[in-house]
Amino acid sequence: MKTIKSQRAFTLVELLVVIAIIGILVGLLLPAVQAAREAARRMSCSNNFKQIGLGIHNYHSAYSQLPTHGSGTTGTAGPEVPGNNSRHGNTTAHSNSRLSMLVGILPFVEQQASWEQISNPLGSFNPMGPSPENAGYAPWSTDFASFRCPSDPGRGLPALGRTNYAACIGDSTWFSSMWKHSSANYDNATKVSNEIRSAHRGFFRNFQKTKFRGCLDGLANTIAMGEIITYLGDRDNRASIPTDDMGNNTQSLDRLRNTPLYCRPWIDSARPRFWTNSASRDYAGRGYQWADASPVFSSVHTILPPNAEICGPDNFNHLAINGTMSSHHQGGCHVLMGDGAVKFVTDSIEAGSATTGNVHRAGTGARAPGSVSPYGLWGSLGTRASKEVIDTEI
């Protein structure tokens, strides 16, 4: 006679306990998975920056100069026509000398096909294309993976091709706008030239040809480029300029130059990473146009530390800002040094006195021409020839 053995099933309590244990394990594992993914994205971001650094060095080897930040074609056969509108206006006939240094290094970062499109006639467009805001010109609307940080989620309109890597133009906003001052109709051309020489202290100088030999502080001690986030339409004060009242053109530029913290009153006290509801200016988003040398799109300063707010006068659109570096990585951002090394700089880097205005031609004391940067170690890393001693490893 066969004996039938009964099989014991799981009780409901046991099943619920097992499910709860699995849920706890998944909850514990998920942050580790997310951290591993961010670490991989951060490494990929660093590798992109290294490739750009190699591209800059190969460009210098080929042409004995750095790629110019603010280059391209103009609409005149001789000297450029001076004037506010002609200097930064939208045109389909030429690029208006507004192209960023990223355009020049395309052949050196494995983008030869895109460079061929830009440097030759393309459809109805002339060589070197139209000014960078023209969405109908395919290269300006292209997102290049090598110019993007994988941690940045920004995609699509109203931006064209985005970039997370921007040229460092030093520790002063004096005469750093995209108006080509050397050809502008100022009353005193000598004054303008002196302003540019005393204030343009960065690795890159707008519209100017520069070489490695001009970096007297040492390539390893000078920041060539910095990381930026692109604007997501969320009033993030690291990626959008506040709509403010800084006065007329002269007053607004003076306040930007003299008071680096001028835009702080428009920060939302309840959400310090964002502007108040009425303050954000969405049409000039950080990193929105990789080909445009305008400061909000592809330039950075070493005035306020990483992930501080950007600031600029509303009446100058995107042409003049205090452009801080920023990232979606925890605690800081990447910088590319002049020698090609990529380093991670924390938000807490020593940045001197944010209440001190910029160095300029007529400045005195800490603001006198040739002075060490008033913005501490951070400012010193952004200047190429101010004789600062960098004795701290970053």
Between CA 329 and CA 236 the distance in angstroms is: 15
* pLDDT band (50, 70, 90) for residue 59: very high
Between CA 199 and CA 217 the distance in angstroms is: 16
For residue 82, what pLDDT is reported? 38
In the predicted model, what is the mean pLDDT of residues 90-108? Answer: 89
The CA distances from residue 174 to 216, 241, 358, in Å, are: 21, 18, 7
For residue 336, what pLDDT is reported? 96
* pLDDT band (50, 70, 90) for residue 190: low
Phi, psi of 336 (to 5 degrees): -105, 120
For residue 83, what pLDDT is reported? 38
Angle made by CA atoms 347, 297, 195, in degrees to the nearest 5: 85
The pLDDT tens digits of the residues spanning 70-86 come to: 888 886 544 444 334 45
| Residue of 75 and 342 predicted with greater confidence | 342
- Bridge partners (DSSP) of residue 387 are none
For residue 356, what pLDDT is reported? 82
* pLDDT band (50, 70, 90) for residue 188: low
Q: What separation, in Å, do the N-terminal and C-terminal C-alpha atoms of the chain show? A: 83
pLDDT above 90 (res 234):
no
Between CA 236 and CA 307 the distance in angstroms is: 10
pTM: 0.84
In the predicted model, what is the mean pLDDT of residues 91-113? Answer: 90
Of residues 73, 304, 316, 48, the one with CA closest to residue 172: 304
In the predicted model, what is the mean pLDDT of residues 136-151? Answer: 93
In order, the DSSP letters of 113-126 are HHHHHHHS-BTTBP
DSSP3 helix / strand / coil % (the chain, rounded to 5): 35, 10, 60
Q: Is the dihedral of CA 131, 135, 137, 140 positive or negative?
A: positive
For residue 252, what pLDDT is reported? 62
Of residues 370, 345, 312, the one with CA closest to residue 173: 312
Proportion of the chain above pLDDT 70, given as a percent: 81
Between CA 393 and CA 373 the distance in angstroms is: 18
| Residue of 283 and 170 predicted with greater confidence | 170
For residue 81, what pLDDT is reported? 43
In the predicted model, what is the mean pLDDT of residues 11-19? Answer: 79
The per-residue pLDDT of the chain, averaged, comes to 82
Between CA 271 and CA 249 the distance in angstroms is: 30
